[in-house]
């Protein structure tokens, strides 16, 4: 947001603006990041089902796809109630494969065999982006699809990698009859 304000201010003064766009995020970057995330959730479940080291894979996934090593990550998992927010890396891993949070049953080890995103919208501000919509998880055992709502925010780090800074997920509201 700061870059945008500076750019507008400089342009208002009639000066030429030369902004390095190397780390700017594109819509395709967001779509690719969503696919990588969905594929990672499926891979963790497959690793669990084949008795491989699924916990190590989940930890690597968190390190690779989330910005915990860059700063604060705001993570509100779909199936979380008593410990609603996961601000620490080990809590995020726990949500996906069980661990330090007692209520966790391992969302990624369900397992799922497909994750698909339907974006309602994507907002891009130079080197950060936010996507919101629905995502659907297909149960590998039953083929049943589960719908959840999501908001993911991303940054690009110095290595030009997309990282999640905000992950909010919830089930759709169903009012009582």
> What are the structure tokens assigned to 176, written together?
């009582």
Distance CA 141, CA 119 (A): 26
- At 19-68, the pLDDT tens digits run 556 679 999 999 999 999 999 999 999 999 999 999 999 999 999 999 99
> What is the bridge-based pairing of β-strands 145-156 and 128-139?
antiparallel
pLDDT of residue 81: 87
User: How many domains does one find in the chain?
Assistant: 1
Instruction: Assess if residue 177 is contained within a domain.
Output: no
Report DSSP letters for the chain, one per residue.
-HHHHHHHHHHHTT-------TT---HHHHHHHHHHHHHHHHHHHHHHHTTS-HHHHHHHHHHHHB-TTTS--EEE-TT-SSS----SHHHHHHHHH--SSTT---GGGTTEEEEEEEEEEEEEETTEEEEEEEEEEEETTT--EEEEEEEEEEEE-TTS-EEEEEEEEEPPP----
pLDDT of residue 20: 54
By residue range, what is the domain housing residue 131? 23-170
Instruction: Assess if residue 5 is contained within a domain.
Output: no
pLDDT of residue 22: 61
For residue 6, pLDDT over 50 is answered with no
Any bridge partners for residue 134, and if so which? 118, 149
Residues 6+ apart with CB under 8 A from 52: none
Contact predicate 95/126, CB 8 Å? no
pTM of the model: 0.86
pLDDT of residue 136: 98
pLDDT band at 2 (very low <50, low <70, confident <90, very high): very low
Instruction: Assess if residue 15 is contained within a domain.
Output: no
Instruction: Assess if residue 8 is contained within a domain.
Output: no
Instruction: Assess if residue 7 is contained within a domain.
Output: no
- At 94-104, the pLDDT tens digits run 999 999 999 99
For residue 171, pLDDT over 80 is answered with yes
Q: Helices 89-97 and 54-65 meet at what angle, rounded to 10?
A: 130
CATH number for the domain spanning 140: value is: 3.10.450.50
Instruction: Assess if residue 120 is contained within a domain.
Output: yes
Instruction: Assess if residue 103 is contained within a domain.
Output: yes
Residues 72, 159, 59, 171, CA torsion sign: positive
Instruction: Assess if residue 88 is contained within a domain.
Output: yes
């Amino acid at each position: 947001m700061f870059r945008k304000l500076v750019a507008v201010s400089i342009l208002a003064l009639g000066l030429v603006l030369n902004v390095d766009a190397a780390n700017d995020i594109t819509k395709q970057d967001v779509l690719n990041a969503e696919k990588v995330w969905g594929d990672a959730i499926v891979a963790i479940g497959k690793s669990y089902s084949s008795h491989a080291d699924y916990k190590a894979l989940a930890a690597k996934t968190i390190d690779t796809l989330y910005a915990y090593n860059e700063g604060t990550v705001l993570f509100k998992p779909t199936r979380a109630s008593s410990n609603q927010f996961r601000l620490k890396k080990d809590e995020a891993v726990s949500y996906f494969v069980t661990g330090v949070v007692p209520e966790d049953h391992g969302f990624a080890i369900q397992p799922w065999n497909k994750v698909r995103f339907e974006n309602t919208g994507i907002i891009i501000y130079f080197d950060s982006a936010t996507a919101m919509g629905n995502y659907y998880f297909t149960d590998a055992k039953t083929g049943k699809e589960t719908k959840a709502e999501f908001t993911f925010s991303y940054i690009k780090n110095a290595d030009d990698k997309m990282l999640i800074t905000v992950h909010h997920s919830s089930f759709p509201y169903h009012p009582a009859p």
